[in-house]
Structure 1
Amino acid sequence: MAPGRQWESPAATHTRAGTAAFHGGEGRAMTGDQQAADRLRALLERARWAPSGDNAQPWRFRMHAPDGIEILAADTAEEVLYDYHGGASLLAVGALLETLRLAARASGQDARVETVQRAGHELCVRTRISPTDDPEDPLHAAIERRTTHRRALSPKPISESDRRTLSEALPKGYELIWRLGWGQRGRIARLLWRNAGIRLTTPEAFPVHRDAIEWGARESRDRIPAAAVGMDPLGLALMRWAMRSWRRVDVLNRYFGGTWLPRLQLDLIPALFCGGHFLLLAPSSPVTIDDHLAAGGAVQRLWLQAAAMGIQFQPAYTPIVFHRYVHSGERFTRAERPWRRAQRLAAFLEDEFGTETLPRAVFMGRMGYGQPPQARSIRWPLAELLVD
């Protein structure tokens, strides 16, 4: 998924129109001395490493020295089918806020959210930075090295002690449900195989997939580098050729089993070869903006704890998204076949985790023991993320 792709050009969607909804006109110029501005800039240098769907980074920052930071974000619910009601973008902003808090605590400061305002698809979060005597949170040390691993990992199950440590990193009320052994991983592998079949045959998803990859790269500051996708050279070459148009993808899918190779390499094999799959549950079903932001903070804490322990991590968020579409009766595609598949997937997910559990589900993924990936997404330079 790629919420926020419109942010690739730092042109001022927010500075022209979006922020006017919050400020009643042009944004304020940064005030305060240079030393205070440098302190805020140092925090944002670390906070910008927060995760977002397909590395889209759906935010910009405005500094108000000596102690204020505004996060200006936008969801893409109308353009990106995986950003269901803007939920994926809100999770990303929540992860960003948690990263900012961790970075601040590491420098003897506290980052407190003062106001959260939403106007349509635009979000403005005002934070205040202030001194604190609270100790630093050791998770801050993993901010820059947290990555996504999309290839096969050790099939050794995540140990009980490691699962306990991961759970202890979560905020109060959040919990993890695990699927660990070969049999349990096999059931999740079947679920993800079906899920991939929906993603790859839904025409409305094609622009998201097409724009998410930077071909011929091992690092990408605004997308996923091709070397980090998780496919072998033949698979990547075929994918690159097909992604030039939906017509090519559709022909491959219809007549040449075009979904089989990516589903095998990107979904089935990684799902079987890992230490376990997890479902992250919130204390209650997320409803408000604050609920979703808090859930994003929980996701980031889990991910950072895994990184701190040397455990590799890969999100698998889209099954939750498809379940929400089916549960609400909202069609995400004009095509009949992927919609019917989504209905079967939702039933499979309910059988696996329970109808009473799934409303609390906010994230899903896999973890495993193994070496870090050799390719990764990086980030836009901070200078490209700051607005006046």
Structure 2
Amino acid sequence: MRHVDPGRVTGLVEDATAAPSMHNAQPWRFRWLSKRHVLELRADTARAMPHADPDNRALHLGCGAALFNLRVSAAHAGLEPVCRLLPDPAEGLLVATVRLDEPVVASAVLSALRPAIRRRHTSREPFTEQEIPETVWRELREAARAEGAGLGVPDAWHTQSILELVQDAEGRDSLEPANSEEMEGWIRTGPAASLSTDGVPEYAFGPFRHDGRAPVRDFAGRHRVADRPAATFESAPRLVLLGTAEDGPADWLRAGQAMERVLLVATSHGLATSLTSHALERPDLRWNVRDPLTAMGHVQMVLRLGYGPGGVRSPRRPVGEVLDFA
């Protein structure tokens, strides 16, 4: 077995932590067990959101996305990532282990996605009305299937319903201070924005939505952001539903990997992407997001895709804060 030095491990984890997470909380920790050539991925519940994510579903999605990036980075480095989800029931925070072996057959498909890891950013900008080719849609659906999830494209009626559910969630938030205060804890404005290593800084808010129907959460809230422009967003946003048949922690981890795989494939094709979880943060609204005409049992994430500005890089914690060596 090839020796994997600490520098290589650090690079793999740096790629892993480029994954998206709710409010950019980055709810993960890694430990490298050098004698076993195993990376442990643990959920960091200190970065959980008990009001918006009481079951830690979104936390598991973020960890799953980081796990997929790790797999891509390992394949690019000529290693075979052998993953086990939830390997020890006695350790609830241990969500996955990844043994790094010599590849029997190098995964060119995974390796090819590595450049997209650094190019993928959540875009809170308007997208154009340009159609997405059917060949790209097929690749996106296959990306989700490869990770045990499904990808559905809602029709115009269902899209309108989803947009109304997002508005419902926004209205409820305005009446429940606990939810607003929780989100406020992850917003970075003023001098703190340029120094932050997590959360959503003001330079990533995107423009104020003057018109249009794109479901883009406005993190500015009550904050006044100097010189923030207004913009017209899409009148017919392209939304896709990513979901699974079941709805437990292992399914959330698979969905997180599927979500990131779809995002990286989309990025590779020049698409801008953003995530819309607002209507999924309420159990009754989440159930209504699903399409009753499909076999998708549980929607895990709503994605917005299109052509337009790719967004800006959100801050990341230094690898030294999330990686331990044993």
2:153 corresponding residue in structure 1:
178
CA contact (8 A) 2:83 2:96 kept: yes
Determine if the alignment matches structure 1 residue 158 to structure 2 residue 132. Answer: yes
Alpha-carbon distance in structure 2 between the residues aligned to 1:295 and 1:346? 15
Alpha-carbon distance in structure 1 between the residues aligned to 2:24 and 2:91? 23
225-234 or 190-199: which moved more? Answer: 225-234
CA RMSD of aligned residues (A): 3.3
Structure 2 residue corresponding to 1:108, chosen from 51, 71, 78: 78
CA contact (8 A) 1:188 1:277 kept: no
Alpha-carbon distance in structure 2 between the residues aligned to 1:124 and 1:227? 32
Alpha-carbon distance in structure 1 between the residues aligned to 2:13 and 2:48? 29
SS of 1:302's partner is helix
CA contact (8 A) 2:24 2:200 kept: yes
SS of 2:51's partner is coil
Q: Shift of residue 238 of structure 1? A: 6.5
Alpha-carbon distance in structure 1 between the residues aligned to 2:50 and 2:114? 31
Q: Shift of residue 286 of structure 1? A: 2.4
Alpha-carbon distance in structure 2 between the residues aligned to 1:346 and 1:237? 24
SS of 1:171's partner is helix
SS of 2:153's partner is strand
1:50 corresponding residue in structure 2:
19
Deviations 1:120-151 (A, max 9, x none): 86335332111103233211221111111112
Q: Shift of residue 82 of structure 1? A: 2.1
Q: Shift of residue 107 of structure 1? A: 1.1
SS of 1:143's partner is helix
Alpha-carbon distance in structure 2 between the residues aligned to 1:300 and 1:152? 21
Deviations 1:312-350 (A, max 9, x none): 11111231231x2x3xxxxxxxxxxxxxxxxxx468536
Given residue 296 of structure 1, which amino acid in structure 2 is its aligned partner?
A: G
Given residue 164 of structure 2, which amino acid in structure 1 is its aligned partner?
A: R
Determine if the alignment matches structure 1 residue 134 to structure 2 residue 134. Answer: no
Alpha-carbon distance in structure 2 between the residues aligned to 1:185 and 1:346? 14
Q: Shift of residue 278 of structure 1? A: 0.7
2:204 corresponding residue in structure 1:
228
Alpha-carbon distance in structure 1 between the residues aligned to 2:68 and 2:253? 9
SS of 1:376's partner is coil
Structure 2 residue corresponding to 1:239, chosen from 219, 222, 233: 222
Q: How does 1:60-71 map to 2 (within 5 A)?
A: 60-65=29-34, 67-71=37-41
Q: Shift of residue 186 of structure 1? A: 4.1
CA contact (8 A) 1:102 1:139 kept: yes
2:266 corresponding residue in structure 1:
306
- Specify which structure has the higher proportion of helix: 1
Structure 2 residue corresponding to 1:385, chosen from 317, 322, 325: 322
Same amino acid, percent of matched pairs: 26
2:186 corresponding residue in structure 1:
212
1:246 corresponding residue in structure 2:
none
1:279 corresponding residue in structure 2:
241
1:195 corresponding residue in structure 2:
169
TM-score by length of 2: 0.81
1:72 corresponding residue in structure 2:
42
Given residue 322 of structure 2, which amino acid in structure 1 is its aligned partner?
A: L
Q: Shift of residue 84 of structure 1? A: 3.5
Alpha-carbon distance in structure 2 between the residues aligned to 1:144 and 1:84? 30
Q: Shift of residue 227 of structure 1? A: 2.1
SS of 2:5's partner is helix
CA contact (8 A) 1:199 1:205 kept: yes
CA contact (8 A) 1:118 1:124 kept: no
Structure 1 residue corresponding to 2:309, chosen from 361, 371, 375: 371
Determine if the alignment matches structure 1 residue 88 to structure 2 residue 58. Answer: yes
Q: Shift of residue 237 of structure 1? A: 7.2
Deviations 1:58-86 (A, max 9, x none): 11222222522122223369852222411
Alpha-carbon distance in structure 2 between the residues aligned to 1:277 and 1:79? 25
Given residue 200 of structure 2, which amino acid in structure 1 is its aligned partner?
A: I
Alpha-carbon distance in structure 1 between the residues aligned to 2:47 and 2:316? 22
Q: Shift of residue 378 of structure 1? A: 2.6
Bigger-Rg structure (1/2) = 1
CA contact (8 A) 2:13 2:323 kept: no
Alpha-carbon distance in structure 1 between the residues aligned to 2:129 and 2:201? 26
Q: How does 1:300-379 map to 2 (within 5 A)?
A: 300-322=260-282, 324=283, 326=284, 345=285, 349=289, 353-354=291-292, 357=295, 359-373=297-311, 375-379=312-316
Given residue 190 of structure 1, which amino acid in structure 2 is its aligned partner?
A: E
